[in-house]
Amino acid sequence: MQRQGSDPPPIGQELIIPALAVGFTAYYFWTVQELAWEAKANGIVIGAILLLLVALLLFRVGWRVANRQATLRFTLGGDPETDRVRLMLMALMVAFLVVLPLLGTSITLGLMLFIGMWLLGGRHWPSLIGVSVITPLLVWATLIVILGTRFPLGPFEHAMAALFGIGPVD
């Protein structure tokens, strides 16, 4: 029950996972069209149940909003400034995944660390640069060179392989 004079709680963030579930289900339905009925039967039944549950959730959310028990306002659990930083960090993670195949692990990791620390308020240049350079070098040396893990290779990894003959080469 809502207190007199207080704003209804925001519940827009509660729709993120249901929206992703609907998107995943639609993607699944689209990609299994050509399969035999037996191969897609379980997924279609589970997907249909999932869509039904999302529909019930949307009905419940709509009911609460219509009765002014909640708003569709979106929050990430903090004040507006904290939410803004959280959204920028999420955008940084998406950008990291987009740029990773182009620039490779070391350069992309260094950029992401620098920007992430900056977004979180880090302004001590020696720390920003030190962490953004040393961490990718350690990742490259241990995970790519020594262990041979198959991370995306970029200009740095190729240059090190050409200069010193160390590290994997595509």
pLDDT digits (tens, 9 = 90+) for 37-62: 877 888 889 999 999 999 999 999 99
Q: Is the pLDDT of residue 65 over 60?
A: yes
Other beta carbons less than 10 A from residue 34's beta carbon? 7
State the pLDDT at residue 121.
Answer: 95
Q: Is the pLDDT of residue 3 over 70?
A: no
Q: Which residues are CB-neighbours of 42 under 8 A, at least 6 positions away?
A: none
Q: Is the pLDDT of residue 17 over 80?
A: yes
